[in-house]
Copies of this chain bind each other. A is one copy, B any other.
């Protein structure tokens, strides 16, 4: 038998899953709370029993996304380029095995990009701050000769936006397979 606490946790999870699905496929603003409730098989009233508002639900999802996004460090790599290979391989594998990962990606991206995102939620989403993260690794790889020449921030941006674009499509349509990670790493690799 299920305790009250477990039941509560399960219900919250059902809501969160339904909301993630919808926020990703329609966007936050276009998603109606009745849609969320319907997809989670409950009345709208019950949804509000578990979450104070649509916005609070959004915030919870964004916080989950922040937690889930702990990327591998560059410590254990011999060359800077290996970091990108490992990073991309792990990310794609994870996205294939856990489609929720790709969806979280898209959710975070929308929250960061859209000017319609409530300010405090945007702030949370911004903590994932990923473009600058790669800059030191790129600088290291340029000294080493494994990463191509060019402004590190611009290279980092190109790599990250590509990953972003790929994740965005994969999240909503898994018809087309993810690319070979090497192809994407070639954006930064020195020839």
The 8 A-B pairs at the shortest CB distance, nearest first, are namely: A165-B165, A30-B116, A158-B179, A29-B30, A162-B162, A26-B116, A161-B165, A29-B29
Stretch from A38-46, A68-76, A79-87, A166-174 contacting the other chain: A166-174
Q: What sequence of 0s and 1s flags, for each residue 158-189 of chain A, a beta carbon within 8 Å of any chain B beta carbon? A: 10011111101100100011011001101111
List the interface of chain A (C-beta within 8 A of B).
25-31, 110, 113-116, 131, 148, 150-151, 153-155, 157-158, 161-166, 168-169, 172, 176-177, 179-180, 183-184, 186-189, 191
Copies of this protein in the assembly total 2
A54 to chain B, nearest CB (A): 13
* Contact assessment for A25 and B187 in the assembled complex, using a CB-CB cutoff below 8 Å: no
- Given A150-B180, A155-B179, A183-B187, A114 and B165 contact (CB-CB distance below 8 Å): no
Contacts of A155 in B (CB 8 A): 179, 183
